[in-house]
Chain A
Amino acid sequence: MSTTGMNLTLKIWRQKNGNERGRFETYPVSGISEDMSFLEMFDVLNEQLITEGKDPIAFDHDCREGICGMCSMYINGQPHGPNDRVTTCQLHMRSFKNGDTIVVEPWRAAAFPVIKDLAVDRSSFDRIIAAGGFVSVNTGNAQDANSLPIAKENADEAFAAAACIGCGACVAACKNSSAMLFVSAKVSQLALLPQGEPERRERVINMVNKMDEEGFGNCTNTGACAEECPKGISLENIARLNREFLLANVSGK
């Protein structure tokens, strides 16, 4: 290993599986280049652990370009670490300095049970989408795409909401483990578009009910979710979700 680069102390949550108790373990790493991503720093540590005959740290990751939403990690008290609008895989070591101690934990929420170490089960999000996060259009039913003009403003706003990567940082950031930002992003995308109109009311009710059923907490408007969201999903979506929900309820559907 190179003698140049940063020396760091990592305090990492280790937990064998969902049934056993976890604990923090401390690991020193050295020779960390500032051009490495945070996950590449974990690769270095794991390589070291394997060489020493120890169990490497399990963590979720896949695309490593900030779009698949698979990486998680609660770093020094913040989901995806200290930088704004960045997933853990895009966090680079130049954001840290030599000698730093870095604490890394999994997402912590009742609806995201730990699988092992830093990997958690986020399938509750899939079930929320299955409850209503779609337009019911079978393949082959569509009319010509340009037969439905949509104001650019609405299309852009819908896109901004649809940019959610489903990583769960909003839930991890929330003191109540609420999934309101995630749910509101999908509800907003489809509420802003004419395609979503026919199922607008059932959708919001079904998704919110499923969210509650999965054990996510309530929203108390602290805004931590939007603050920590790597894709900048706006808090306005939650306001829209609340309006949609109210409207759906008073309309008696």
Chain B
Amino acid sequence: MTKLNSKIPSGSIDTKWTQYKASVPLVNPANKRKIEVIVVGTGLAGASAASSLAELGYKVKAFCFQDSPRRAHSIAAQGGINAAKNYQNDGDSVYRLFYDTIKGGDYRAREANVHRLSEVSGSIIDQCVAQGVPFAREYGGLLSNRSFGGTQVQRTFYAAGQTGQQLLLGAYSSLQRQVGMGNVQMYSRHEMLDIVMIDGKARGIIARNLITGELERHFGHAVLLCSGGYGNVFYLSTNAMGSNVTAAWKAHRKGAYFGNPCFTQIHPTCIPVSGDHQSKLTLMSESLRNDGRIWVPAKPEDAKALQNGTKKANDIPEADRDYYLERRYPAFGNLVPRDVASRAAKERCDAGFGVNPTGQAVFLDYAAAIERYGKIEATKQNLSNPDSATIKALGKEVVKEKYGNLFDMYLQITGENPYETPMKIYPAVHYTMGGLWVDYELMTTVPGLYALGEANFSDHGANRLGASALMQGLADGYFVIPYTIGNYLSQDIRTAAIPTDHPAFVEAENNVREQINKFFAIKGTKSVDYFHKRLGKIMWDKCGMARNEKGLKEAIEEIRALRIEFWSDVRIPGESNEFNPELEKAGRVADFIELGELMCLDALTREESCGGHFREEHQTEEGEALRHDDKFAFVSAWEMKEVGKWELHKEELVYENIKIAQRSYK
């Protein structure tokens, strides 16, 4: 059994990173020019890494499957990005962000990584502002902040409900600048389909040109996977349609361990499923929980009436509403972390209090916020005795400025006006904390192969706090990898570029071609989506918000059967040497099916509840997640032996700076 070496530097927590940076070997500028780095994915992690490495002088090749690097799914992040700037003078600090993140992750993240993340958080904001990212500002011209779930300070920087878009466009502009300068070669509409290994090291990739179908070989001294998360294993998620696990899974098949695959974030505030045609779910930003109040009816008969359409939200009097988050968690109220909020919604809906025809929705109500803001506005404008219509109109304006784009989106999708009637929301798969296992330097268990951003498992433990994904993606790309990659590449300065007619490249390309030919040879009867939907249903029902031993065992059997059926009955139209989205999907779904099995295995093995992983057998009397720190304070790192067979390795988690405790938001 390989012993996992997390390479955490020695020393006290607040000096580890500083000392690491001061002592890590450097690569001199003349040598950097000779070293090639491959970056797969151009979201926040990939674009920031590619541009930063190119600025340092490395030769970078960047790949994305979309038609432009600007379309990576980081673009859809809405609410904001955390940073321990303490601009609000409300007691924030590097330590507090570190603490909140460890606690929010339910004590399943690595202390040293999280502290580093917290340390560099402030520099991220500085960098983005310098690029011209138009964050929200106060009238004095300084940056504005808001609060997010799981924290009691205001440390979230934002750009309306489009923070991810603005940060990504900032990183993209830096990337395009390097493309223009010839330091980055950009390969859009290219999908990585295998890692090339030479002498035990990652030395390149095989990529498919999605327009011509041609397979290409690319050499790199190192390969960075910045390919995002795998929430689409559930078919329905808030991820983009193209988001996939393929790059990470190919790496896993080549020896990279997969960390905590079962840690999935189910986001509490998404627009509920409307029918079988549904292709994706849409998130309504967590920032809405700042001002919105979440409720269901207190009386079962009212819930019935809402379900069969005889009553509407506004017919339920105030006294008959159950603001269940405020009731159960008075200290954090509507701003409890995502896992807690999601489970609480499920609990109410399972008990029969859901508010739409499927019974799978709760209300997110802005009436109180509109009135509160309206009154403040009226006072500002010196209006004496304003009538309720005036207050409402003034309040709506304020809400519109803060959340206008989200409200518009809700109206487009549902046809209901959220300024007039409460929104209906329900939890949906949103983010995956699990991912490729990496050490402190972000290297996987394969030498020379790195994973950044959502693609790695590292910083969020069993539950990610809101506005921390953007922080981690940019931290990894701008401020971590430029230093840590030096430790590896400084040993590699004598390695000349390996020609791509090397047998390892030829073999990897042949394997990819074989799989593509295999797809076309099946000539089955069902579309790729048919299998993807079935996989998603198994995962959601048995490896979703609540899991149990029986369900997980069933799911593993069902997924194995589905895998066999997929490989004998899928139909791929068209040809391999053309633009063929069905072929692309087939490759991704084949990998999702294998991943789904591993997620269930991981969930089955982890006999405790923590963060987003809720095992029904392990809960407190009040229905809260019950951890077993004596047995499970470790990272599960899975090594693939063959399809459907894995070996578990454990990285013990040591808490030297934070006292491990039962998480409470009451």
Contact = CB atoms under 8 A, between A and B. Distances in A.
A126 B68 contact: yes
Given A51-B527, A163-B162, A65 B409 contact: yes
Contacts of B177: 130, 134, 136
Contacts of A130: 176-177, 179-180
Interface string A200-212: 0000000000000
Contact of A135 (B173, B242, B280, B573): B173
A69 interface: yes
Nearest to B415: A94
A146 B529 contact: no
A88 B110 CA distance: 42
A145 interface: yes
Contact of B131 (A58, A137, A149): A137
Contacts of B482: 139
A65 B282 contact: yes
Q: Interface size for chain B: under 10, 10 to 19, 20 to 34, or 35 or more residues?
A: 35 or more
Given A141-B130, A166-B70, A196-B132, A39 B52 contact: no
A162 B131 contact: no
B80 to A, nearest CB: 14
B55 A139 contact: yes
B578 interface: yes
A131 interface: yes
Contacts, number: 229
B123 interface: yes
Contact of B129 (A17, A44, A138, A142): A142
Contacts of A135: 130-132, 173
A242 interface: no
B533 to A, nearest CB: 10
B134 A55 contact: no
A126 B186 contact: yes
A123 B478 CA distance: 25
A139 B52 contact: yes
B344 interface: no
A175 interface: no
Given A47-B527, A54-B573, A150-B137, A40 B277 contact: yes
A159 B176 contact: no
Contacts of A34: 415
Interface in A97-156: 115-116, 119, 121-123, 125-126, 129-146, 148-152, 155-156
B12 interface: no
A67 B162 CA distance: 8
B135 interface: yes
Pick from A66, A67, A92 the residue with the most CB of B within 10 Å: A67
B224 to A, nearest CB: 15
B522 to A, nearest CB: 13
Contacts of A217: none
Interface in B558-616: 571, 573-574, 578-579, 581-582
B662 interface: no
Contacts of A44: 277
A62 interface: yes
A55 B571 CA distance: 11
Contact of A90 (B52, B169, B413, B574): B413
Contact of B139 (A138, A152, A166): A152
A154 to B, nearest CB: 9
B495 interface: no
Given A43-B279, A47-B529, A63-B76, A68 B579 contact: no
Pick from B68, B76, B136, B478 the residue with the most CB of A within 10 Å: B68
A115 B211 contact: yes
A180 to B, nearest CB: 19
Interface in A12-51: 16-17, 33-37, 39-40, 43-44, 46-47, 49-51
A149 B87 CA distance: 13
A70 B283 CA distance: 18
Contacts of A70: 66-67, 71
Interface string B56-90: 00000000001111110101100000000101000
B202 interface: no
Contact of A55 (B238, B409, B574): B574
A63 B73 contact: yes
A213 B448 CA distance: 40
A105 B154 CA distance: 47
Interface stretch (A187-195, A218-226, A233-241): A187-195
A50 B573 contact: yes
Nearest to A141: B130
B412 A129 contact: no
Given A50-B571, A193-B134, A134 B279 contact: no
A82 interface: no
A83 to B, nearest CB: 8
A85 B408 contact: yes
Interface string B80-102: 00000101000000000000000
A182 to B, nearest CB: 12
Contacts of A151: 141
Contact of A158 (B67, B70, B134): B134
A90 to B, nearest CB: 5
B412 A86 contact: yes
Given A53-B573, A139-B51, A148-B129, A159 B134 contact: yes
B336 interface: no
B132 A189 contact: yes
B327 to A, nearest CB: 32
B174 interface: yes
Nearest to A158: B134
A134 B73 contact: no
A214 interface: no
B578 A68 contact: no
A67 B142 contact: no
Contacts of A53: 571, 573
A11 interface: no
Pick from B67, B137, B143, B283 the residue with the most CB of A within 10 Å: B67
Interface string B107-146: 0000000000000000101111111111111111111000
Contact of A152 (B141, B176, B573, B579): B141
A60 B141 contact: no
B66 A62 contact: yes
Contacts of B127: 137, 139-140, 142
A133 B143 contact: no
Interface in B154-178: 159-160, 162, 164-166, 169, 172-174, 176-177
Contact of B130 (A35, A143, A150, A163): A143
Pick from B68, B85, B159, B412 the residue with the most CB of A within 10 Å: B412
A139 B177 CA distance: 13
Nearest to A138: B55
Nearest to A116: B579
A241 B271 CA distance: 39
A215 interface: no
A62 B137 contact: no
Given A145-B125, A148-B129, A195-B132, A134 B137 contact: no
Nearest to A148: B129
Nearest to A139: B52
Contacts of A137: 127, 130-131, 174
Interface in B22-80: 48, 51-52, 55, 66-71, 73, 75-76
Given A129-B172, A159-B134, 14 more contacts: A35-B274, A49-B573, A51-B525, A63-B71, A90-B409, A90-B412, A126-B179, A129-B70, A133-B176, A134-B174, A137-B131, A139-B55, A143-B130, A195-B129
29 contacts: A35-B275, A43-B279, A50-B527, A56-B573, A60-B67, A68-B75, A69-B70, A70-B66, A83-B412, A116-B579, A119-B579, A126-B70, A126-B176, A126-B188, A134-B174, A135-B130, A135-B132, A137-B130, A138-B55, A140-B478, A141-B130, A142-B129, A145-B126, A145-B135, A146-B143, A152-B138, A156-B137, A159-B160, A196-B132
List the 9 closest A-B pairs by CB distance, nearest first. Answer: A149-B141, A130-B180, A134-B173, A142-B130, A142-B126, A159-B134, A130-B176, A145-B129, A139-B52
